[in-house]
Amino acid sequence: MDREKCEECGGKIVKKEVDFSLYGTSLGKFTAQVCTKCGEECFDEKTSDEIDQVAKTKGLWGLGAKSKVGIAGDSFIIRINKKLAEFLHLKKGEEVFLRPENKSKLIVEV
């Protein structure tokens, strides 16, 4: 579906090749519908499917996951699934740094 006007600001939409990256890994160039006024980028359904396919072949699909908070003694435990741990090259005993970005986001630096 092609849009002619931006839903955000009403600006003119043009087609442009843009670099798309996911989790810091480039997936390549894709045709996006870009607003000339606010820069909002949007992909049509076909392009979104292509992006999903590339993400899957690069093992970047489904890395976001839900996790339940557990408790061990005085500490809280958040489990990281195997797929995500492998993506981050986490090893047992490795030290990571935790910091809140705001009241609803936790950053884990590996």
Binding site for Zn ion (CB under 5 A): 6, 8-9, 11, 35, 37-38, 40
Q: From the CB of 7, what's the least distance to Zn ion, in Å?
A: 8
Q: From the CB of 40, what's the least distance to Zn ion, in Å?
A: 5
Residue 41 or 49 having the CB closest to Zn ion = 41
Q: From the CB of 17, what's the least distance to Zn ion, in Å?
A: 19
> 3-class DSSP state for residue 28?
strand
92 burial via Cβ count (<10 Å: 0-12, 13-18, 19+): exposed
Please report which helix (H) or strand (E) contains residue 18, including its range.
strand 13-22
Residue 37 or 58 having the CB closest to Zn ion = 37
Q: Rounded to whole angstroms, how far apart are CA atoms 6 and 9?
A: 6
Residue 15 or 83 having the CB closest to Zn ion = 15
DSSP letter at 66?
-
